[in-house]
Amino acid sequence: MKIKETWNHAFGLLQKMGKSLMLPVSVLPVAGLLLGLGSARLIELQQIEQGVLSDPKFWWLPEWLAAIMKTSGDAIFASLPLIFAIAVAIGYTGNDGVSALAATVGFVVFLATLGTVALGMGLETKTVLGIPTLDTGVFGGLIMGCIAAYMFNKFFRISLPRYLGFFAGKRFVPIITAFAAILTGLVMSVIWPPIGAGINSFAQAAAEGGNVPLTVALYGFIERLLIPFGLHHVWNVPFFFEIGSFQDPITGETVRGDIARFFAGDPTAGILGGAYWFKMFGLPAAAIAIWHSAKPKNRKQVGGLMISAALTSFLTGITEPIEFSFLFVAPQLFAIHAVLAGFADWLFVTLGGRMGFTFSHGLIDFVLFNSLGTRVWLIPALAPVFVALYYFIFRFAIRQFNLMTPGREEDVEVDESTAAITGDKAEMAKALVLAFGGRSNIKNLDACITRLRISVDDMAKVNVPRLKALGASGVLQMGQNAQAIFGPQSDNLKTDMADYLKTAGPEADIVEVPATGFVNETTPDPVKISFDPQAAQKAEATIAALGGANNIRTVDSVALTRLRVEVTDPAAIDETALQAAGVQGIMRLQDDVLHLVTGLNADQYADEIAQRLAAKV
């Protein structure tokens, strides 16, 4: 049981890291566009001077503007380790700005420590953010982001002696993170050189050696298999940002990672371009096969879902709306898809193709950057092959094995009330909260590009059929983490849910019971709430533990068993004293807003506290 709990906890942490990495990744389309176009024009001008080129493609771009675009893109890619550190830190701390500051402080101290030790050991250094240091790339940023987040979560409410009171609470976090960064830098200065040598050997072999096709085939296969767990972002890091090296012909700087090297003009970069085949053509064809395989009475409904998902994949390269429509009902198809993805990456490199990307392998990236690639005509030329492979394999497998893809279920009904709900943001947010088991069941709200990622207290209360009725193409349950696939609208849905929970009343805990047994359908006997004779004393103790009456802005009872408290100074709260006053649990919604789990007498305690606050006004 302990192993399972450890796995679930680790999985939840990795999920958060995967989501956090989407923030810096979202910067890359702009960086890639600036760096790609700027570099292309400057290289053209250089080749014209050398007499190598006479017919430029980017004649319309002035040299001065190209130089600005290139240096702007370079600045973003050069700062990726710091950007990653900040993103991971805020991802693990509920978007708290202090953790971002701590990550920044920790990262520069980490770089300085590495550089000082490296110089003493006679190791080669590289200038990162103006600091001579060992180059740990984005891995160093990830490490310091995690350390900063850990320090924040552990110390942001720390109390210090009165004479050091100025440094208490959140002010202490950047300080302790700096000391942790020194220790981490000392350790990394010993273990990183051999690790770096190993990574460099593998990267160079993969980027330039004869095993590149095998490497990209393995990459494509595993990356697809990790999609259901949301861990593909972690797997992508070394391939996107570490693999290979190239000296920029304009600046002389060494750049790493398949993405940065491609836009700097490295002819060996762009080894992941085979994904254009299955994202732009293969999966949309699979969506059409699913549509055509649906029962006649369901084809209109399924067609709308599949066509929109196919267009999303074709235009942007976002594939999850299609993949999650069949992953859980027909995992055999997903295994086939993973094999085909690896085959596409292998074939593209084997045929001599090279094509990069910024956001994903969709039409937008293809139109913008095809002029920078090598043999990119392979992508449209062999597109019919992948359309045929995906369509006929999916169509055959669905029919041969009677797979229950969308539209082939025994009964597919459209809930008219659900259709009405999805058109109203507030009602949709409320419906989603209830489908995840209600406010009291939700521990944390999060989202990435295509998924709602919700941490819950009781997974049995998550109403999977209801989530699917609200538009989720799939729901993944792992430990105490639930992921509902709503496509690109997921982040907006999370924001709507958060806004709803800020003002929701008791109705946010009236959980609906589904038709099938994902939620316990037995109705318990009514619970009798007895009067607590010690409520007055508990109220006094609670007020004191919250920093006194002057520190309490509002107090209300919510969800039958909780007090919702808003305070002026969160650092004044004494959690040990709260527990001594009878509080069973503490949940912070924001810095200054928290829920106190007090049991079924929450209404009585709220009244007692309110009376005492009113008396002191």
Please compute the mean of the pLDDT values over residues 592-616 and round it to a whole number: 77
| pLDDT at residue number 595 | 79
Where do the domains of the chain lie, and which CATH numbers do they carry?
2-208+249-264 (no CATH), 416-509 (3.30.1360.60), 535-615 (3.30.1360.60)
| pLDDT at residue number 231 | 58
| pLDDT at residue number 327 | 75
**Parallel, antiparallel or unpaired: strands 245-247 and 131-133:** unpaired
According to DSSP, the residues that pair with 481 across neighbouring strands are 455, 478
Q: Which residue has the higher pLDDT, 601 or 71?
A: 71
Please compute the mean of the pLDDT values over residues 294-320 and round it to a whole number: 82
> Distance (Å, rounded) from C-alpha 507 to C-alpha 134?
55
For 158-211, what is each residue's pLDDT tens digit?
888 877 878 888 889 999 999 999 999 999 999 888 876 665 565 455 545 557
Tokens, residue 444: 């944390």
Instruction: Give yes or no for residue 11 having a pLDDT over 70.
Output: no
> Distance (Å, rounded) from C-alpha 84 to C-alpha 224?
23
Tokens, residue 330: 């027909």
In sequence order, what are the residues at sequence separation of 6 or more whose Cβ sits closer than 8 angstroms to the Cβ of residue 298? 406, 407, 408, 412
Q: What is the pTM of this model?
A: 0.54
| pLDDT at residue number 488 | 67
Which whole-number Å values give the CA distances from 517 to 396, 410, 521, in the listed order? 32, 18, 7
Task: Count other C-beta atoms under 10 Å from residue 281's C-beta.
Answer: 26
Please compute the mean of the pLDDT values over residues 363-378 and round it to a whole number: 86
Which amino acid does the sequence have at 581?
A
| pLDDT at residue number 524 | 36
Task: Tell which residue, 351, 354, 390, 391, has the closest CA to residue 372.
Answer: 354
| pLDDT at residue number 355 | 94
Please answer whether residues 246 and 261 qualify as being in contact, where contact means their C-beta atoms are separated by less than 8 angstroms: yes
| pLDDT at residue number 420 | 46
> Of the given ranges (10-19, 359-368, 483-492, 535-544), which has the lowest mean pLDDT?
10-19
Q: Which residue has the higher pLDDT, 416 or 191?
A: 191
> Distance (Å, rounded) from C-alpha 429 to C-alpha 421?
9
Which whole-number Å values give the CA distances from 111 to 136, 328, 364, 605, in the listed order? 9, 45, 37, 52
Please compute the mean of the pLDDT values over residues 367-386 and round it to a whole number: 91
> Distance (Å, rounded) from C-alpha 280 to C-alpha 361?
7
Please answer whether residues 90 and 100 qualify as being in contact, where contact means their C-beta atoms are separated by less than 8 angstroms: yes
> Of the given ranges (242-256, 307-321, 527-541), which has the lowest mean pLDDT?
527-541
Q: Which of 78, 448, 497, 573 is catalytic?
A: 448
For 67-103, what is each residue's pLDDT tens digit?
998 888 888 878 888 998 998 898 888 778 899 999 9
Q: Cα angle vertex 372, ends 367, 376, to 5°?
A: 65
* % of the chain with per-residue pLDDT over 90: 22
Please give the mean pLDDT across all residues of the chain.
81
Answer yes or no: 448 catalytic: yes
Sheet containing 481-485: order of strands? 442-447, 451-456, 481-485, 475-478
- Expressed in angstroms, the distance from the first to the final Cα of the chain is 52
User: Length of the chain, please?
Assistant: 617
In sequence order, what are the residues at sequence separation of 6 or more whose Cβ sits closer than 8 angstroms to the Cβ of residue 495? none
| pLDDT at residue number 380 | 96
With both helix axes pointing from N to C terminus, report the angle between 2-20 and 80-92 in degrees, rounded to the nearest 10.
130
> Of the given ranges (284-298, 337-351, 578-592), which has the lowest mean pLDDT?
578-592
| DSSP letter string, 276-293 | HHIIIIIHHHHHHHHHHH
Query: 3-class SS at 36?
Result: helix
Please compute the mean of the pLDDT values over residues 97-110 and round it to a whole number: 94
> Of the given ranges (18-32, 64-78, 281-295), which has the lowest mean pLDDT?
18-32
| pLDDT at residue number 203 | 47
Query: 3-class SS at 257?
Result: coil
Q: Which residue has the higher pLDDT, 42 or 283?
A: 283
Q: Per-residue confidence at 326, pLDDT binned at 50, 70, 90?
A: confident
Instruction: Give yes or no for residue 20 having a pLDDT over 50.
Output: yes
DSSP-H helix ranges across 436-586: 464-469, 490-503, 535-545, 575-580
Q: Per-residue confidence at 516, pLDDT binned at 50, 70, 90?
A: very low
Residue 222 has phi, psi (to 5 degrees) of -70, -40
> Of the given ranges (197-206, 237-246, 311-320), which has the lowest mean pLDDT?
197-206
| pLDDT at residue number 196 | 64
> Distance (Å, rounded) from C-alpha 44 to C-alpha 53?
7
